[in-house]
Copies of this chain bind each other. A is one copy, B any other.
Amino acid sequence: MALKTELRVVALVGGVGGAKLAYGLSQLIAPENLTILVNNGDDFWHYGLRICPDLDTVMYTLSGLVDKTNGWGVAGDTIAMLDALRNLGEQPWFRLGDRDLATHLVRTSRLRAGESLTDITRSLSAALGIQASLLPVTNDDVPTIVSTREYGDLDFQTYFVRYRWQPSVSAIRYQGAESARLSDSALAAIQSADLILIAPSNPWLSVGPMLAIPPMREALLARDVPRIAISPIVAGQAIKGPAAKLMAELGYSVTPHTVAAYYGDIINGFVYDRQDSDLVVETVRTLVTDTVMKNEADRVRLAGEILAWAARDDVR
C-alpha cells in the first residue's frame, strides 16, 4: 500500500499493541505529520533507573530495534547485568537487557540533570533514526496504582510484571493525574491534528492514564476532527495482556461496547473487529474490519484502512 496522506495524525498509544499501530502509521504518514503520544502511567524507578516501558516499546518498534518475538525489548539483547545482579544476591523481577540499559542510563542521568522527559525522548528517538514525533503525554509523574483483591494497592509494574497481572483488580487510579500538565508539545500536536486515534491498547491501563489528565481530556474534546478508537477486545478476548481479564474483574462485559462506552464522548468514531460484526455499536460511527495485527503487513493495512475511512466526510 503506497497511500501517503497529508493528514496530521496524533495517536494515543500504550505498549505493544499501540506500538504496532504506530508502526503502521509511520509507514503511511509523513513523519512531520505524525505524533505518537505515549502513556506514562507505567513509568517507574528500578535500581535507581527511570524506566518508561511504553515509550521504550514504541521507540524500539519504530526504530526497528525491537525484539519481534516479545514485542518489547531489544532484539538479541543479553542479560549479563541481570546475571551479575543475581550473583550479588538480588532477585530482579524486571527484565533489564544489557543494551536496553543504555536507554535507561541516558534517560535517568538527563532527567537528574533537569532535562524534561519530552526533550530526552526526542533526543533518544532522533539518535535511533525515528523521524515521527514520539512524546510522553506529560512530563509529570502519574503512576498508575492497581488495587488488587489479594495484595491491596500495587504499583503498576509490580502488578503487571512481578505478579504477571494475575491478581484480581478491584480498582485503578492514576495518581497525580488530576494535577498533571499536558506537555506543550503534546498539546500543540492535538491542537493541530486532523485526526486523533486511540490505539488498540488497554483502555484502563494504557489509555486511561492519559485521559485522566484533565487538560488532555479538554484538548481532545475541543477538537472537531475524527477521534477514533480501535477496540483491543476481539471476540471476548484481549489480543495481548490483561484487558479482558481486567474488564471482567471490574464487572464489565468483555465486548467492544464496553470499550466504546469507556471512551464515551472522547471518541466520535470506533473501529472493531469483523469477528464481532454481530454486535452493533450505536453511539458513534463505526468501521468493522480485521483489527488483529499479526505481522507488519497487517499493521500497515489496518492503519491505511483507518486513515482512508477517517478521511471520508461522514465520519465525524
Contact = CB atoms under 8 A, between A and B. Distances in A.
A80 interface: yes
A294 interface: no
Interface in A37-86: 47-49, 74, 77-78, 80-85
Interface in A112-162: 112, 123-124, 127-128
Given A48-B112, A90-B106, A99 B124 contact: no
A103 interface: yes
Taking residues whose C-beta sits less than 8 angstroms from the other chain, chain A's interface range is: 20 to 34
Given A80-B80, A101-B84, A124-B88, A106 B74 contact: no
A108 interface: yes
A5 interface: no
Given A48-B108, A108-B48, A127 B84 contact: no
A87 B48 contact: no
A48, A74, A97: most-surrounded residue (chain B CB, <10 A): A48
SS class, residues of chain A in contact with chain B: helix
A100 interface: yes
Contacts of A109: 47-48
A105 interface: yes
A98 interface: yes
Contact of A47 (B78, B85, B105): B105
A109 B87 CA distance: 17
Contacts of A99: 80-81, 83-84, 87
Given A88-B103, A88-B124, A127-B88, A98 B112 contact: no
30 contacts: A47-B105, A47-B106, A48-B48, A48-B49, A48-B105, A48-B108, A48-B109, A48-B112, A49-B105, A78-B78, A78-B80, A80-B98, A80-B99, A81-B81, A81-B98, A81-B102, A82-B102, A83-B99, A83-B102, A84-B100, A84-B101, A84-B102, A84-B103, A85-B102, A85-B105, A87-B99, A87-B127, A87-B128, A88-B103, A89-B123
